Amino acid sequence: MMSDHAARELYLDDIAVGDEFVSAEHQLDAAQIIAFASQFDPQPFHLDDEAAQASFFQGLAASGWHTTAITMRLLVQSLPFASGLIGAGANVTWPQPTRPGDILHVRSRIINITPSRSKPDRAIVEARSLTYAQDGQIRQDLTARLLAFKRANS
Amino acid sequence: MMSDHAARELYLDDIAVGDEFVSAEHQLDAAQIIAFASQFDPQPFHLDDEAAQASFFQGLAASGWHTTAITMRLLVQSLPFASGLIGAGANVTWPQPTRPGDILHVRSRIINITPSRSKPDRAIVEARSLTYAQDGQIRQDLTARLLAFKRANS
């Protein structure tokens, strides 16, 4: 099942390995990068383009956790689990820095479903969510373990 | 080496497996939880205590990524790598939800150092950072892979 900008509510019954979900887009700019970094990741290469030129990043780059937070915002809308997105954990890598001007979208794929041994109404659903920019390159590779529930009467 | 609220700049030369770092504290409240969630994780259990009572969380809970962002803020100050904290990737789990009123601090331990094969001036340093609340319980278990550099003339 391929779902674009899905709005319906998904129960565990509706989710299968291989299902794909595509998010809307988010346009990033320097002001957003600096605002997030000022609050949560105040390092020169996330705060000031001139300072960033002399750094490993060679120019202003978003905090990796800012990319994760934007990805989460896009997932809330594109991966509509009926009980919400409840994360048990995640693995994340940032193959490239996210930059001012990037237009991000997220493509998610269900890669594993592990039913709970003790609670038959639920499972851990593993979703791999790739955050792409407008150049087709991957800025973030996130695999999250999410709790999903069956319909009450299923 | 045990470092409390460290301020000095650490080069790869200064970092060893087993080194520990303790952060300052951050006090969380409902307003911060709702502000972060409104922007990045707008789900009822992160936005509204009444709605959250009826959810899996049974009360207002912070977005896991908010806990990660606060942890990052505390790491910038407590894990003072000379070139900054440049993350290649991370694994994170949330054993318990973070709640309004939680007073968080982070204890980090260097668990692995892998020298670059191609670039002798750098290594990937793995740091495990546990985010504790005032009750002594772990709210987040983060292992990050960070880029660290040798002193220019070492």
Please write the tens of the pLDDT for every residue from A59-70. Answer: 999 999 999 999
Q: Does A58 touch chain B (CB under 8 A)?
A: no
- Residues of chain B with pLDDT below 70 are 1-8, 154
- A65–B64 CB contact, under 8 Å: no
Q: Does A76 touch chain B (CB under 8 A)?
A: yes
Q: Give Cα B81 distance to the centre of its chain.
A: 14
Does A111 reside within a domain? Answer: yes
Q: What are phi and psi of B49, to 5 degrees?
A: -65, -40
Residue found by looking up tokens 């892998």 in the block: B114
Does B7 reside within a domain? Answer: no
To the nearest whole percent, how much of chain B has pLDDT over 90? 92
Q: Does B48 touch chain A (CB under 8 A)?
A: no
What is the strand order of the sheet B122-132 is part of?
A2-4, A20-27, A103-115, A122-132, A138-149, A86-93, B86-93, B138-149, B122-132, B103-115, B20-27, B2-4
Does B50 reside within a domain? Answer: yes
Q: What are phi and psi of A2, to 5 degrees?
A: -115, 125
Q: How far is B121 from chain A (nearest CA, A)?
A: 13
What is the chain B residue with the closest CA to A84?
B43
State the DSSP code for B94: -
CA distances from B73 to A37, A65, B66, B85, B90 (A): 9, 11, 11, 11, 16
Does A50 reside within a domain? Answer: yes
Does B76 reside within a domain? Answer: yes
* Distance separating alpha carbons of residues A107 and A139, to the nearest angstrom: 12
Single out the residue of B80, B74, B64, B66 nearest to residue B125, CA to CA. B80
Give the model's pLDDT for residue A96: 96
More confident residue, A101 or B152: A101
Closest Cβ opposite residue A41 in set B64, B76, B83? B76
Judging contacts by C-beta atoms under 8 Å, the chain A residues touching residue B76 are: 41-43
Judging contacts by C-beta atoms under 8 Å, the chain A residues touching residue B26 are: none
Give the model's pLDDT for residue B5: 46
Q: Does A103 touch chain B (CB under 8 A)?
A: no
Q: How many CA within 13 A on the CB side of residue B103?
A: 5
Q: Does A42 touch chain B (CB under 8 A)?
A: yes
Give the model's pLDDT for residue A154: 55
Q: Name the domain count of chain B.
A: 1
Which CATH number goes with the domain that contains B43?
3.10.129.10
Does B5 reside within a domain? Answer: no
Q: Does B92 touch chain A (CB under 8 A)?
A: yes
Tokens of A135: 């150049």
Tokens of B11: 């080069």
**pLDDT, tens digit (0-9, with 9 covering 90-100), for A115-133:** 999 999 999 999 999 999 9
Q: Does A31 touch chain B (CB under 8 A)?
A: no
Does B136 reside within a domain? Answer: yes
Instruction: Please say whether the beta carbons of B6 and B76 come within 8 A.
Output: no
Closest Cβ opposite residue B90 in set A39, A70, A92? A92
**pLDDT, tens digit (0-9, with 9 covering 90-100), for A30-61:** 999 999 999 999 999 999 999 999 999 999 99
* Distance separating alpha carbons of residues A129 and A153, to the nearest angstrom: 30
pTM of the predicted protein model: 0.94
- B56–A86 CB contact, under 8 Å: yes
Give the model's pLDDT for residue A5: 46
Instruction: Please say whether the beta carbons of A143 and A111 come within 8 A.
Output: yes
Does B3 reside within a domain? Answer: no
Per the structure, the complete domain to which residue B110 belongs is given by 12-149
Q: Does A79 touch chain B (CB under 8 A)?
A: no
Q: Does A39 touch chain B (CB under 8 A)?
A: yes
- Helix axes B30-40 and B64-78, enclosed angle (nearest 10): 110
Q: How far is B18 from chain A (nearest CA, A)?
A: 23
Tokens of B41: 């994780």
Single out the residue of A94, A106, A151 nearest to residue A130, CA to CA. A106
What is the chain B residue with the closest CA to A145?
B93
